[in-house]
Amino acid sequence: MINIVLADDHHIVRQGLRRLLEMEQDLTVVAEAGNGIDAVHIVEELRPDILIVDMEMPGLHGLVVTQLVRQRVPHTQVVVLSMHADEGYVLEALRHGALGYVLKDADAGDLLEAIHHAVLGRRYLSAPLSERAIDAYARSTQATTTGIHDTLTMREQEVMQLTAEGLTASEVAERLSISPRTVEKHRANLMRKLGLSNQASLIRYVMERRLLFTTKLPEDSEAKQKQEYESLFPDNT
């Protein structure tokens, strides 16, 4: 039996996916999550075979969820659901550790194929995506700042995201429970690594590479969600 966790912020979508998956004799949905933070915690607790995660998740972006899950629960393979057919999105999902990438307008059979491929450690991309196109795109971007972006620490990526969203150093510090001085240090480091000179160039960098993740916390139980968010990064200062 293949155990699955569903992570999508729309309850009706999770219901539909659960019905679809549990029609298969070898699949069972063991839990659901409505935001990225809960998804990571649930996977850590239940250690399912597969996590199906929407790319656009509140709390933590689906790519961050994917990366954390693959780091902390290597047994769990990740299949990303996305509305984006652009090669750049697919490549980022694969680089963050996903084995499956399924478009939301794909046939139900594509999702089932992705699950069965992923549980065997095989990559699956739903049509019209192809390995050849993704490999070609990856080669074309090897000489760009994509590689440099990979040198950023998790905390530097968080500071980059929140800064690009327009938060001040004090607001970023409050969100991440660190000091404004530490925020400035991380921002200076990441801008030096990326060769950027000001906040405007940082925002342009993030937008051009479609790296503006969803970091806004869910409105319900915001204090609790903030505490859980911080618990995911206990060593990042």
pLDDT digits (tens, 9 = 90+) for 211-222: 544 444 444 445
Residues 6+ apart with CB under 8 A from 158: 176, 215, 233, 236
What pLDDT is recorded for position 141?
A: 53
User: Residue written as tokens 């699956």?
Assistant: 124
Write the single-letter amino acid at 196.
L
Burial of 33 (0-12, 13-18, 19+ CB in 10 A): buried
- Mean pLDDT value across residues 54-61: 81
Write the single-letter amino acid at 69.
V
Q: Is the pLDDT of residue 54 over 80?
A: yes
Within the chain, all domains assigned CATH 3.40.50.2300 are found at 2-139
d(CA 21, CA 44): 22
Q: Is the pLDDT of residue 31 over 80?
A: yes
Q: 160 or 20: whose pLDDT is higher?
A: 20
- pLDDT digit string, tens, across residues 98-126: 999 999 999 999 999 999 999 999 999 98
Q: Is the pLDDT of residue 134 over 80?
A: no
Cβ-based neighbour number of residue 184 at 10 Å: 14
Looking at the domain covering 2-139, what would its CATH class be? alpha beta
**The CATH number, out of the four listed (1.10.10.10, 3.40.50.2300, 2.30.30.110, 3.90.550.10), of the domain defined by the range 146-231:** 1.10.10.10
Within the chain, all domains assigned CATH 1.10.10.10 are found at 146-231
Q: Is the pLDDT of residue 201 over 70?
A: yes
- Mean pLDDT value across residues 14-32: 96
